């Protein structure tokens, strides 16, 4: 019988093992809500639902312009807080619920403002990473039979967090050389720091990149701009990880339909989460790309949050059965992450339905 790690590695190699995989993300408010609905105290969802993947503690290191920067609180009420971070971004956050922060101001909005940070970003700074914590996290993960995964943001999320959406998107057209320079510096940043971590702490089984490529109704830029300005750097970092023997998973929110051919070409091994509410359909992707890439997600939370048992089962069956018949490598996951308005019993029913048909 295959272990969880064996199953996941097989799926990420675009093979067909004995069964599909399973993993999940949650909003911060979800587990406290579930505790009120019967979810056991002092138990993690990853253990309760026996997920196949574990993210290694410490591998998501500080990639900001000013590491170790203490966030500055600009303004605060009982409902929200405005704070300035190490990227020079001033953002407004809700205090009692998750959500995308409101953009208030950014310091780096020109090539001139970026110039003082360019060399430092592309230089190894061992103080950014906690080797002992990563080594301990790897040891803890390897004590089980799950896929051990490093994870971090990449160039587009870093750029949005440093320049802000408006400056970033304007600069795609007005300052393309600056965009390339920014991406090159941060690609170098990740390569040298993870090369150091791999040597000093050890290597995981896989790597999870979190880099949203679009809105709910399209990409942040045209496919042509994305291909020219961004994809060479994805290929470079994915190539570095492949050279280290690691399959690479890409998390991207939004409507990524026009980007999937480039994602496949860049060498990614798995696409996640394929937001159904943004128009993505894993069955259509599977029919088009087959085993050129594996898939994780696309279970529509806007169906699950109705908390209707029949609707929940139908959504899972509607997605998973065709993928099983197509014999496409698939890992069960929501189409983003589980919000608190999906009840514990509803999600448990979704998992039970999936497991009843998860064998190839």
Concatenated DSSP letters of 308-353? -HHHHHHHHHHHHHHHHHHT--EEE-BSS-B-TTS-HHHHHHHHHH
pLDDT digit string (tens) for 108-138?
A: 999 999 999 999 999 999 999 999 999 999 9
Q: What does the pLDDT read at residue 90? A: 97
Q: What does the pLDDT read at residue 1? A: 87
Does residue 62 contact residue 87 with C-beta atoms inside 8 Å?
A: no
Q: Which distant-in-sequence residues (6+ apart) come within 8 Å of 330 by Cβ?
A: 11, 20, 21, 282, 286, 294, 295, 296, 320, 323, 324
Write the DSSP assignment of 71-95 as a string of letters: PEEEEE-SSEEEEE-TTSEEEEEES
The backbone torsions φ and ψ at residue 180, rounded to the nearest 5 degrees and listed phi first, read: -65, -40
pTM for the whole thing? 0.97
pLDDT digit string (tens) for 321-330?
A: 999 999 999 9
Q: Is the pLDDT of residue 293 over 90?
A: yes
Query: Distance between CA atoms of 284 and 271, rounded to whole angstroms?
Result: 13
Q: What does the pLDDT read at residue 113? A: 98
Query: Distance between CA atoms of 168 and 158, rounded to whole angstroms?
Result: 11
Give the domain ranges of the chain: 4-65+108-356, 68-106
Kindly give the interhelix angle for 282-289 and 309-326, rounded to the nearest 10 degrees.
0
Which CATH number is associated with domain 4-65+108-356? 3.20.20.210
Averaged pLDDT score across all residues of the chain: 97
pLDDT digit string (tens) for 86-95?
A: 999 999 999 8
């Amino acid at each position: 019988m295959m272990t969880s790690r064996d199953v996941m590695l097989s799926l990420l190699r675009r093979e067909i093992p004995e069964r599909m995989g399973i993993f999940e993300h949650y909003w911060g408010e979800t587990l406290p809500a579930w505790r009120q609905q019967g979810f056991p105290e002092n138990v993690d969802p990853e253990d309760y639902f026996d997920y196949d993947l574990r993210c290694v503690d410490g591998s998501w290191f500080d990639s900001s312009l000013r590491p170790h920067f203490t966030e500055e609180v600009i303004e605060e009420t009982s409902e929200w807080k405005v704070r300035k971070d190490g990227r020079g971004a001033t953002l407004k956050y809700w205090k009692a619920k998750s959500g995308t922060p409101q953009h208030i101001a950014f310091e780096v909005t020109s090539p001139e403002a970026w110039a003082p940070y360019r060399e430092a970003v592309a230089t190894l700074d061992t103080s950014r990473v906690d080797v002992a914590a990563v080594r301990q996290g790897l040891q803890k993960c390897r004590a089980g039979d799950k896929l051990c995964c490093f994870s971090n943001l990449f160039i587009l999320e870093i750029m949005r967090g440093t320049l802000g959406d408006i400056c970033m998107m304007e600069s795609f057209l007005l300052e393309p050389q600056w965009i390339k320079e920014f991406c090159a510096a941060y690609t170098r940043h990740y390569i040298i720091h993870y090369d150091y971590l791999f040597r000093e702490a050890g290597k995981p089984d896989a790597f999870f990149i979190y880099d949203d490529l679009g809105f709910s109704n399209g990409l942040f830029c045209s496919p042509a701009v994305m291909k020219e300005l961004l994809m060479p750097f994805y290929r470079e970092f994915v190539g570095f990880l492949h050279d280290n023997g690691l399959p690479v998973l890409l998390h991207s929110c939004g409507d990524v339909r026009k980007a999937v051919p480039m994602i496949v070409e860049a060498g990614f091994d798995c696409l996640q989460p394929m937001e159904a509410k943004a128009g993505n359909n894993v069955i259509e992707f599977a029919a088009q790309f087959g085993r050129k890439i594996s898939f994780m997600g696309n279970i529509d939370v806007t169906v699950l949050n109705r908390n209707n048992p029949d609707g929940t089962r139908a959504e899972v069956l509607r997605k998973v059965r065709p993928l099983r018949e197509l014999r496409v490598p698939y890992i069960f996951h929501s189409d983003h992450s589980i919000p608190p308005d999906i009840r514990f019993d509803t999600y448990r029913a979704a998992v039970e339905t999936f497991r009843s048909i998860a064998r190839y």
